[in-house]
Structure formats: C-alpha cells, structure tokens
Structure 1
Amino acid sequence: MSDQKTDTRNADATPGSATPGSSAAGSAEAFWDERYDQSDRLWSGEPNAALVRETEDLTPGSALDLGCGEGGDAIWLARQGWRVTATDISRVALARAAGHADQAGVADRVDWQHHDLGASFPAGSYDLVSAQFLHSLHEMPREQILRNAAAAVTEGGTLLIVGHMGFPAWETEPHPGVDFPSPQKVLASLDLPTGQWDVLVCDTHEHSLTAPDGEPSTRTNYTVKLRRRARRA
C-alpha cells in the first residue's frame, strides 16, 4: 500500500505496488520495509508531476500526503509553504524521508506519521489531501481510504487523487487481483454528498517515461481533483 513518487529506474512506476515479478506474500508493512531496505533510494526524490501541476495555484495551508514514501511530494509541498502531515506504512521509508527533509531544510514543516491506512488514518482536517498512486498488490480497502481522505478535507479545501490506469507496457506478468479503476469510477466510489463538492478535474492523461531497457514509453494515468464547497454563512 503506500508510497508514491517516481521510480529512479523508470518514471512513474507503480508506487504502492510490488516490483514486477516480486511476491506480495506477508504483511504489506514487511513487504515495503524490505523493498526500501534493498536500495539507498527507491524513488527519484522529485515531486509527482500531477501534484505540481494541480497545486501550483493553491494558497499554501495544511496538507496531508497519503503514502509519502521517501518524501518527494511532502518536501516539495513544504518548500512551497505548506504545513505537511505525511504518512506511510513503511517505517524505513519514513526515516529516510525525514532525513531528506532535514537536508532540504524543511524538517520543521513536515510531521511524519506511520499508518497502515486500512487500519488507522491521520487525525485532523486539511486544506489539501493528496493520494498519489495508492495501489497495492496486498489487499487494501482503497475505496474506504479515499472516502476517509475526502472526509479529511476542510471546507474550501482540495482532494487530489492520481492513479494508474493499468500496468506499464513492459509488465509481462500482470497481477489479475490489482484493480485500476477509471477516474469516473473513483469519483463515484467516493459517494460524496450532493451539492457539497465541485469536480475540477476527472480525466486521464498520458505520461512519458523511460522503460527499464532505456527505451522511451508512455503510461496512462488519471487525475481526480475536487474542491469541497464552503458553507454559506
């Protein structure tokens, strides 16, 4: 479950899921801790392009980063002036992310929290809640997690959900149990109250990336961006 960012081997890898061909046996936390332990850096450290694109015009406030991985998105948000709560299932990733934040000079702007989002969720409400590539080979109540994410958005705040539409073209052994819903299905599954949200973006887009063999490739992703309406006085 957890993680995000861009794989250092190929842009826009499937964060929150296993390396192609790897086993998803055992707990999700143990799986991710082991995966992070296999290298000094799993992701590029750069923020996700969709996050940058969809939040550049927002006024910084409080932000919640679900599946923060090594901290690329959280650190970028902190640099823009956001106060960030960043959560991940892997304690290894969180320790690494905290180190990166310290190096970036924003350690005082990020609160790193350990959560298995299927079992616990950060407290509070936020001006921005971001869920970037929240996919998993382990069983995960993704729809409920995203509903909890929507509930954590304050009035006037933004919910940003970005995901993959399928495995990359070079994945020769897809995992049939992994669901890649359309943005329309994601939006419907949030079960939002009528008249309380504005849909700003609900669409797919192509993302250019480099395949493991070094050849250029593309991958289809989706973005769902919503704004919670403020109540009238």
Structure 2
Amino acid sequence: MTTTEQFWEGFYLDRDQVWSGEPNPLLVREVAGLTPGTALDLGCAEGGDVVWLARQGWRVLGVDVSATALGRAAARAAGAGVADLVAFERHDLGETFPAGEFDLVSAQYLHSPVAVEGERGGILRHAADAVAPGGVLVIGGHAGWPSWVTEHPHGDIVLPTTAEVLRSLDLGEGWQVETDEVVRREMADPDGNPGHRDDNVLRIRRLP
C-alpha cells in the first residue's frame, strides 16, 4: 500500500516543476484585503501561496508531506527575497499537525487519492483549532471534475460541498461565515476546446 509520503514524493519527483508558481486565485481573492499577520499554509506544495503571502507582509509557515516539494518551496522563497518571512515543516497531516495559533490558516485543494476515509475532515478540524481569535480559515476545494471529464480518474476522492464542509467542521458559536461560494473557472480541455471547472471557497472567521 502506498503511503501518503510515498505518493506525493513520487508525484513531485516525476517532474522538475509541477505547479505554475502563481498563488491560488481564490486565496488571493479572500486574503488580499486582510491585515497581514501570521499564516499557516497546509499542503503548501512548491510554495506559490507561501511566497505570495510573504510578499503581502505575512509571516508564513508552509507545511507539506513531501520533502521534495518543501525544498522547492524554500528555494522559491529565497529567490523571491522573502526567506526571512517564511518557515517550512514536513507533516503528514493525517498523523501530525504544526503547533501554534495563526491569524490565517489556508487549506487549498486538500484532495488526495491516498487519504483514508474521513481524514480530510479531521485535518480541517485541526485547521480550525489553529485559528487565533479574530483570525480566518480559508478553505478552497474542487466542487467537481472538469466539464470534459466523464470518467473520474480518482473515483474514490470525495469533493464535498461547502455545506458538507461546514457540517464536518461543527464549529458551533464563536465563528462567522464570511464567504460561502461556488466559483466557475473557464478553462480549455486538453484539445483546446472551451470548458470549465467549479471550485468552492469558504472564509470563516473566529470571533474575538
């Protein structure tokens, strides 16, 4: 059985660079107007979001299970001149979670074909626990497969709605949902034909 670490190490070692290096647009949209403080980026991959946050003045801890991805993220941060604002830790979030409280906790596209049932929900509950009073939790995820995909390549991956995420968080009083939205992204299919994919985004604030 492939472990989470083995899967994601293989994923990153397969190519010299997997992601564009640009920040996730939903994160940018939800965070651009916030006052910078401390931030935790869960599943930071090659560091696109970490570097963008640091450039906005945030002090960021990036976390990923892949040592290869973390090495690339650290190199990207150094190249961008923000190494003094960032730190990185390796965690299999189903097993361990970084310590501390943060003004922003970001969980973008935490979908994994090797996650055990219920693991994502548990990670997001830990993420909520890590939000400092007055801080926000931003969760972005796929709401479905691309419009041209008829046979899902990872049929066992659950893509929950925002309502399902909120129920699994079970936050109770002391929180305010500021964003609860499905966003359509226009994108071309592999042959260049028009298509789209829907993503969902939540921004939830822990009240002071």
Question: Could you say which TM-score interval applies, normalised by the shorter chain?
Answer: over 0.9
Structure 1 counterpart of 2:201: 223
- What is the identity, as a one-letter code, of the residue corresponding to 2:86? V
For residues 69 and 139 of structure 1, the distance between their equivalents in structure 2, rounded to whole angstroms, comes to 16
Instruction: Give the aligned partner of residue 210 of structure 1.
Output: 188
- How far apart are the structure 1 equivalents of 2:188 and 2:130? 35
Mapped pair 1:201 → 2:179: yes
Aligned to 2:155: 176
Cα RMSD for the two superposed structures: 1.2
Looking at structure 2, the residues matched to 173 and 94 of structure 1 have their Cα atoms a distance apart, in angstroms, of: 32
Deviation track 1:114-157 (CA, whole Å, cap 9, x = no partner) reads 00000000100000000001001112401110000000000000
1:114 and 2:90 are equivalent in the alignment: yes
1:98 aligns with 2:74: yes
Q: In the TM superposition, what whole-angstrom CA distance separates every residue of 1:187-229 from its partner, at most 9, and x where no partner exists?
A: 11101022x0011011211012233223332101101110100
1:199 corresponds to which letter in structure 2?
V
Q: Take 1:69 and 1:147, find their aligned partners in 2: how far apart are those partners?
A: 20
- Identify which of 61, 71, 78 aligns with 1:85: 61
Distance 2:202 2:187 in 1: 21
Q: Secondary structure at the match of 1:34?
A: helix
Which structure has more relative contact order (CA 8 Å, sep 6+)? It is 1
Identical amino acids, percent of aligned pairs: 51
Distance (whole Å) between structure 1 residues aligned to residue 74 and residue 193 of structure 2: 33
Structure 2 gap segments, 5+ residues each: none
Counterpart selection for 1:135 from 86, 89, 111: 111
Measure how far apart 1:171 and its partner are: 3.1
| Alignment equivalent of 1:162, drawn from 101, 122, 140 | 140
Between stretches 185-194 and 127-136, larger displacement belongs to 185-194
SS of 2:30's partner is helix
